[in-house]
Amino acid sequence: MTESINDNGTKIPPKGLAVLALVGPSFVWCAEYIGTGEVILATRAGAILGYSIIWAVVFGIFLKYWIGMCGARYTVCTGEGMIDMFDRIPGPRHWVVWIILVAQFISATISIGSVASAAGIFMNSLVPVSPYFGGWFVTIFSLLVVWSGIFDLLKIVMSLFVLIIIVSVLYVAITVFSGFATLIKRGACRP
């Protein structure tokens, strides 16, 4: 596909069905904003409060999408981060920045604690250790890796975990699979 260029040297955006080529990358970019808060805290809130809280989760994810899109567009258009924009809001000096800092610190503390708890429980299911010890171990290990800058070790450990997951999935699939004859027989019985 050839790119069309305007008189001012900018690319002409796609029209019609060509717009669908933008959907895949945009979903990937937006999915980047889904993090531990949605995965762990929303799941925990749903487990405790049930379906009565689902509106807040959906509303929060919806707002997060638009905040991410607006922040990205603002940065692209102005060349500065949103925090610089917040710093210029009238009132006492840096007041919005301080509110954001405190809110982010509280949110990060809760989120990191949730991830450490989940990691400790996961580690307890693999190795017979206390979930509290497992959470502390994973947290300290992560801090050491980040502090030292040795990410090759982390790549090896993560590759090992991915290998364990793949082998486990294959084992379960082979163990549970009842055979092609049963699969075909069940398929033939359906109307």
Report pTM.
0.48
- Whether 130 contacts 141, CB under 8 Å: no
**Which of 20-59 are b and which e, b meaning 16 or more Cβ less than 10 Å from the residue's Cβ?**
eeeeeeeeeebeebeeebeebbbeeeeeeeeeeeeeebee
- pLDDT > 90: what percent of the chain? 5
Amino acid 23: pLDDT: 62
Map out the domains of the chain as residue ranges: 1-88, 92-149
- Whether 82 contacts 71, CB under 8 Å: yes
CA distance 171 to 64: 38
| More confidently predicted of 80 and 40 | 80
Q: Model confidence at 37, in pLDDT bands (50, 70, 90)? A: low
